[in-house]
Homo-oligomer: A and B are copies of this chain.
Amino acid sequence: MQDLPAISLKWFFEPRSVAVVGASSRKGKIGFEILRNIVEGGFAGPIYPVNPHEQTILGLKVYRSIGEVPGDVDTCIIVVPPHMVPAVLFQCGEKSVKGAVVISAGFSEIGNFELEKQVVDNASKSGVRVIGPNCAGIVNTEKRLYATIESRIEPGDIAFVTQSGALGGAALAWARQEHIGFSKFVSYGNRCDVDEADLLEYLMEDQQTKVIAAYIEGLRDGRRFVKTAKRVSVVKPILAIKSGCSSEGTRATLSHTGAMAGSDKVYDGAFRQAGIIRAEDIEDLFDMARVLHNQPLPTGNRVVVVTNSGGPGVMMVDSLAKLGLAIPATSADTKNKLAFLPEICSRNNPVDLTAEADPEHYRKVLEVTQESDDFDVLVALFVPPAFVKSEPISDVVVDVHRTASKPIVACWMSGDLVTEGVKILERGNVPNFPTPKRAAKAVSALVERGRYLAQMHASISQ
């Protein structure tokens, strides 16, 4: 199917109409829940449930077959038993359906390669592109298309593509708790047709997507993936978890998907070459996505830490240093510009404003360090002393960030004592992390991305 133009994937995410083949009226059945998600999610176009044994579901007329649907169908969600899928794809072709998302499982993942081959053959003959089978569906938040059984996520500018549907579901549930928004979600399962590379190409063009985050167990066509990723990553950051990275994990992957996961070192090298930033787990993946989608890129790795508390400041420095970031001392010039600080404060790096820090101290220090040549990234750390509200400090950080050319990462540390302050930071596009370790990891992603683009630029201009 690779000779079909990538642009055709657009039909999956921006269909004029959607059919659900295998729709059910029984709560708890996937054929019901996926239809309900599409209806309640607010998709604006016609929605056609298809099932020869049902009359109406959720107030919608049910059609006996896809052929009987009166209007055009752009995207078809398929949840019928696996042996029926090839025939449904054939009918999709007759109806000129553009894309089919096959939720149904029971194909190559359990050794049923012959049936999966029939899916590919029929789709190919019918000119229908296929996502799946054995997948958890797709989402386009912009079009309010929630063709999935997973959590209904908020709009945002991160696209998340995942090979494992279960991992995808867990990740979306986690992300919803962390108030992370998405442009697109794609669970691609057995990727019998549309694969990782196709999705990268589509997302490169997608206006709503600023960062691409991926969960990958093994690649179908490593060479093409790296080639594509290299082209895409110049335009948008790509972050990826590659699971099965230990030899034990590789063995586990083998027994899970039947696919060889490949040596971890090979992946590591290939990812680096392709400009893909590697994440260790879901938290890592979305933490890094959250800084890359709205922060300017630094031109170096020198970080200044502005804190109101010594101990957490030291922990932040430890975490940054462990990731190879530099925490240089402030220059004499910068120290002079920080002379306004009370005697009790430290004008070294970390700049320690002490428990008596007021918002104007934070503002001026961030302004001075933002303008100085000493640093490339600003980290604002705040641990509220008893009865001090975090909101005014948040306001100031957001204010400085608005016109800053350097990235600012916040670490408001005290759980529900800083809930309101964190909301202000989030609304003001300053990414916040509850621990120094997580904030440091996010900073390292910014530095890695900045370095990669600089290298690319240098190699192009040579």
Determine if A110 and B174 form an interchain contact, defined as CB atoms under 8 angstroms apart.
no
19 cross-chain CB contacts under 8 A: A105-B355, A149-B387, A163-B311, A166-B312, A166-B383, A167-B312, A169-B386, A170-B383, A170-B414, A173-B415, A177-B416, A244-B318, A246-B317, A249-B318, A252-B313, A253-B314, A261-B314, A281-B315, A283-B437
Query: In the complex, what residue of chain B is closest to A385 when comparing beta carbons?
Result: B166
- Which of A84-92, A199-207, A224-232, A344-352 sits within the interface? A344-352
CB neighbours of A257 from chain B (8 A): 310
A247 within 8 A of B: yes
Choose one: B241, B348, B384, B386; the contact of A255 (CB below 8 Å): B348
A417 within 8 A of B: yes
Determine if B413 and A174 form an interchain contact, defined as CB atoms under 8 angstroms apart.
yes
A33 within 8 A of B: yes
Query: In the complex, what residue of chain B is closest to A283 when comparing beta carbons?
Result: B435
CB neighbours of A320 from chain B (8 A): 248
In the bound assembly, the distance between CA atoms of A261 and B149 in angstroms comes to 52
A contacts with B, residue count (CB < 8 A): 77
CB neighbours of A110 from chain B (8 A): 344
In the bound assembly, the distance between CA atoms of A435 and B173 in angstroms comes to 12
Q: Mark A170-203, 1 if CB is under 8 A from B, else 0.
A: 1001101100000000000000000000000000
Chain A residues near B (Cβ < 8 Å): 28, 30, 33, 105, 110, 149-151, 162-164, 166-167, 169-170, 173-174, 176-177, 215, 217, 241, 243-249, 251-253, 255-257, 261, 280-283, 308-315, 317-322, 327, 329, 344, 346, 348-350, 352, 355, 383-387, 413-417, 434-437
CB neighbours of A253 from chain B (8 A): 310, 314
Determine if B416 and A311 form an interchain contact, defined as CB atoms under 8 angstroms apart.
no
CB neighbours of A249 from chain B (8 A): 314-315, 317-318, 321
